[in-house]
A and B are shown apart, each in its own frame.
Chain A
Amino acid sequence: MKVSELSPDALARGFAQGGLRLRIGPFVTQLRTDLRSVAEAICFFYGDYELPSEETVCDFHVRLESPPGLRRWYRKQVVFLMDGQNQFQPFPFDLAPPLFEWGLNWCISNRAHQYLIVHSAVVERNGRAVLLPGRPGSGKSTLAAGLLHRGFRLLSDEHALIRPEDGRVVPVPRPVALKNESIPVIRELAPELVLGPSFHDVTKGDVSHVRPPESCVHRAHEAALPGAVVFPRFDCESLTQLEAVPKAAALMELVDNSVNYGVLGTTAFQTLANLVDGATCAALDFADIERALDALESLT
């Protein structure tokens, strides 16, 4: 059964009464929440995703709820719990939908150690995965959304999940998070992409998410070998420049962008070294999104 096969009311009831399971890429998340806004966000962004049966083993058990006490009613807040444990400081209540995404990022980063996890957007075309590793603000999500517009398949917006056994990147297609100026840029560049509502967060600024195209969700079982690693460097005053990065330097930068390198140790080193060995490595300085996309397309 897919999310879209349930009415919004039925979905909200399911989340509130014991929770529902949601399959996102290789992960099954059990979500319990009585917050209507979260149910509506799931309805909007995850309509094409599977709702596994109650017997399905879950990777993450997640709850979003109002905290007890005054904050349930006054200057309302929302908390994210995984396995019953509160993982973050409370967020303003109206940020509950993006908190689900941020919380899921946390779950993957801290639990999915069967993969080597790199902080990276990943897209694919012609069987080759393109990794766009970088810190927040580097432009990776904006580029990923732009590449969707150019016909690339989204594997991930936030995490490259690399299988150590064969070096392939496992898809975990989820809403692409755009921030601040990139929101109107993508709206104008790619009007066919479906953007959700904007939220304002004190630390991140304005945030809006792009719904993954249905085709990306349907192909979530198709892992891909990395063909290119491109380190994006957004600077509003940059000219567009794609330049080769020496493989040793690329490996060091991937290590720096790895989430669980210290957990996996030698396996992580070998996996990243093999990845670099087989991929074109480059850095992309850009300010203009169209020219940046042209440069990236030239790699595939």
Chain B
Amino acid sequence: MVSPNRRQLWTVPPEAQLEWRTWNGTSVVFNPASGATHLLDSVAAEVLKRLETQPTSIEELCERMSEFLYSSFGSSLDPTFQIETLVTKFDELGLIAPTRP
């Protein structure tokens, strides 16, 4: 996997109008644009929700989510790798798109 540019801004396109349901920290998201339905754990959901709220870079996500990630996984995992992986996957699934400021 080629690491994405950590300062590239990503966002959920406004026209996407994602539908969410969450139970006990696990979320299901429907993307009307693709017709696909996705199961997300709490970390993935948090990343996607932040990108849905406003354009954000991987670098910013890492900074702002450090406490959340630590509480989810402790210090054993590299949060940057996790977030890079999620952003790449969301891009492949058509949930997010790169954007400019």
Number of A-B contacts (CB under 8 A): 40
Whole-angstrom distance between the Cβ of B15 and the nearest chain A Cβ: 13
Interface size on B, residues (CB 8 A): 14
B35 touches A252 (CB 8 A): no
Whole-angstrom distance between the Cβ of B98 and the nearest chain A Cβ: 25
Partner of A269 from B26, B27, B30, B39 at Cβ < 8 Å: B30
Contact with A along B34-60 (1 / 0, CB 8 A): 010101000000000000000000000
A255 touches B24 (CB 8 A): no
Indicate if A10 sits at the interface (CB-CB under 8 A): no
Determine chain B's interface SS by DSSP, over half rule: strand
Determine chain A's interface SS by DSSP, over half rule: helix
Indicate if A185 sits at the interface (CB-CB under 8 A): no
Given contacts A248-B39, A249-B39, A266-B32, contact A273 B21 (CB under 8 A): yes
CB neighbours (8 Å) of A238 from chain B are: none
Interface size on A, residues (CB 8 A): 16
B30 touches A266 (CB 8 A): yes
B28 touches A248 (CB 8 A): yes
CB neighbours (8 Å) of B27 from chain A are: 248
Partner of B26 from A248, A261, A277 at Cβ < 8 Å: A248
B37 touches A247 (CB 8 A): no
Chain A residues close to B by CB (< 8 Å): 246-249, 251-252, 255, 261-262, 265-266, 269-270, 273, 276-277
Q: A265-B30, A265-B32, A266-B17 are in contact. List 14 more A-B contacts (CB 8 A).
A: A248-B22, A248-B24, A248-B27, A248-B28, A248-B39, A251-B28, A251-B37, A252-B28, A252-B37, A252-B39, A261-B37, A270-B19, A273-B19, A276-B21
Chain B residues close to A by CB (< 8 Å): 17, 19, 21-24, 26-28, 30, 32, 35, 37, 39
